[in-house]
Amino acid sequence: MKKWIEDLLELQENDIRIRKLTTRLEMIPIEIKKINDDIRSTIDLLKKSKENSMSTDLEIKQVESEIIKYNEEVSKLQKQSAMVKKNDEYRALIKEINNAKKKISELETRELELMDQKDRVLKEMKNAERIAREKANTLKEEQNDLNSLEERLKKQISILRDARKALTEPVNTDVLNRYQRILNKGVGQPLVPVHDGICGNCHLRLTPQSANLANKGEVILCENCGHLLYEED
């Protein structure tokens, strides 16, 4: 294997490593955003649960207030009925009293329903609080891990980029320029092996002339995909 191939393969190994690490690094902000979205979603769920609890408590108080109001009204009407002498007036008051008592019964039924609802809401709220605590801890750990990974990746990429300059020095300028143009496309490896006259990138058969030049270690590009070619020993 000719030296230009060995030099370029070493450079390529470094560059592909940089590409992979950079791709992983670019995913971290997306993953952190997802974690933050999950945290907000959990907080919103807990907030909604607390709002439901407060809403139920408020409705219970309103019902209790209505019961007190109707009980006072019954008491007032009963006192009035004891003083009424006319039958028509008496019957009218009794009707009002019965209506008020019916309303009280309905309100008491509603109060019992709300108390059951409150028990369910409190259970939901406690469960939401537990999930929020557990999830917050887990997500925080994941976020810390991602932050640590981000720092490690940046350091590794920096080291590889620093090493790249020395790796490019022995490579012919024209070859390096061709290599760099292919690398910048971000698709596959710029320098690929030839196997039985087949390009290692596009997997199409080369012309006999191209295959022969690659076999001799000449600088040759695939006529199909434009990648640099070399024959493996």
Task: Quote the pLDDT of residue 128.
Answer: 83
The answer to whether 200 touches 193, Cβ cutoff 8 Å, is yes
- pTM assigned to the model: 0.68
226: number of Cβ within 10 Å: 15
Determine the Cα–Cα distance for residues 80 and 219; give it in Å rounded to an integer: 114
Burial of 49 (0-12, 13-18, 19+ CB in 10 A): buried
pLDDT tens per residue across all 233 residues of the chain = 899 999 999 999 999 999 999 999 999 999 999 988 888 888 888 888 889 889 999 999 999 999 999 999 999 999 988 888 888 988 999 999 999 999 999 999 999 999 999 999 899 888 888 888 888 888 888 989 999 999 999 999 999 999 999 999 999 999 999 999 999 998 899 999 999 999 999 999 999 999 999 999 999 999 999 999 999 87
User: Can you give the residue ranges of every domain in the chain?
Assistant: 17-169, 172-233
User: CATH classification of 17-169 is 3.40.50.970, yes or no?
Assistant: no
d(CA 19, CA 156): 11
| Burial grade of 142 (CB within 10 A; 0-12, 13-18, 19 or more) | middle
Rg (CA), the chain: 40
